[in-house]
Structure formats: C-alpha cells, structure tokens
Amino acid sequence: MSAVPMRAFLAGVFLLANAWHITAVNEQHQKHHLQCWHCSSDTIGAEDFCDVTFQEDNIPTELIKERNINLLRSCNSTINSDHERAVCRKTVEENNGKLITKRFCYYTNKSDPVELCNITSPEKNVRRIFCEDCLTDRCNGAFAGGSILELLLLLPTVALLQQLAI
C-alpha cells in the first residue's frame, strides 16, 4: 500500500471514530435531561388523568398515539447556562372559579430554593392554591414523598372552592 492511500485510509478511520465519539457523547448527554409530565386538567380529555391526583393508568394511550401527543417531555434548556436548571413543576390554580392543575417543565436559577414556586405569584386574575417544583424524573406526577400533609390541607380547600362555585 502506498503512503497516500494509507493516509487517506487512516484519515477516514480517524474521522469515523470522531463522528462516533461525538454521537455517543451527545446521546449520553441527552439521557441526563429531566423527564417531566406535561399536561393541563383544562385540556379536553386530560381531566381524567391530569387532575390534582395524577392517574397514569387513565391516560388514553390510543388517543395519545393517534394524535402524536407526548405527555412526557424532556426538559432541555436551550440556554445551557451554568446558572439555570430544569425542574418539573406542578401547580393547582383557580382561574375564573375553575380549578386547573398543570404539570410542565420549568426553568429556575440554580441558586433559587425549590420552595420558591410557592412564593412567586401567578398570572393576573389567577389564584395559586398549590405549587411544587421537583428535581427527579416524573416527579410532578404526584405529590412528593412526605407531602401527605400538603394533600390533607389541599383537599378541603378544593372541596370548599367547588362548593363556592356552585
């Protein structure tokens, strides 16, 4: 084999190895994105699974596949900031007398405590009843461990609001 074809062969092998390494690193990086449920109880069809209590067993899988809806989202920041982090957020809010539960990816400053969600105010004319940020995959599907007290406090509030709305 002459020197030129051997160099071309080695260069090709080197380029392929680099391309494979870049792909492997990108796939590994993507696996570390936080996975969060993404739904709202005021969406038609979502009230059966995306209410205050998340009912994964009630997700209409055929409808989801048919409409190509992705309820589990990968939270990947486009900013890639050293100061920003993705969290899974769950909120329960009253809007015009209607209780709405939402689950979604949210981005906060890394220095902000997770409890900040309860302090910040929602949109105008919306009353926040509950808000929770969490940092593990699918954690916004239910109350976090140790939140039984929060559930016990939230249920009478929900019942009262429903009575007032009648």
Q: Is residue 128 packed enough to be buried (19+ CB in 10 Å), middle (13-18) or exposed (0-12)?
A: middle
Task: Give one DSSP letter per residue of 37-78, joined into a string.
Answer: E-EETTSTTTTTTBSSSB-GGG--HHHHHHHT--SEEEE--S
CB distance 63 to 96 below 8 Å: no
Measure the CA–CA gap between 34 and 86, rounded to whole angstroms.
Answer: 7
Q: Which residue is listed with tokens 């870049």?
A: 22
Quick one: which of 16, 58, 32 has its CA closest to 136? Answer: 32
Amino acid at 47: E
Q: Domain map of the chain by residue range?
A: 35-158
Measure the CA–CA gap between 96 and 130, rounded to whole angstroms.
Answer: 16
pLDDT, one tens digit for every residue, the chain (166 residues): 566 565 655 555 444 444 444 444 444 444 578 999 999 999 988 989 999 999 999 999 988 888 888 999 999 866 667 888 999 999 999 998 999 999 999 999 889 888 888 887 788 889 999 999 999 999 999 755 444 444 444 555 545 545 655 5
pTM: 0.67
Walk across the sheet containing 39-40 and list its strands. 39-40, 98-109, 84-95, 126-134
CB distance 58 to 49 below 8 Å: yes
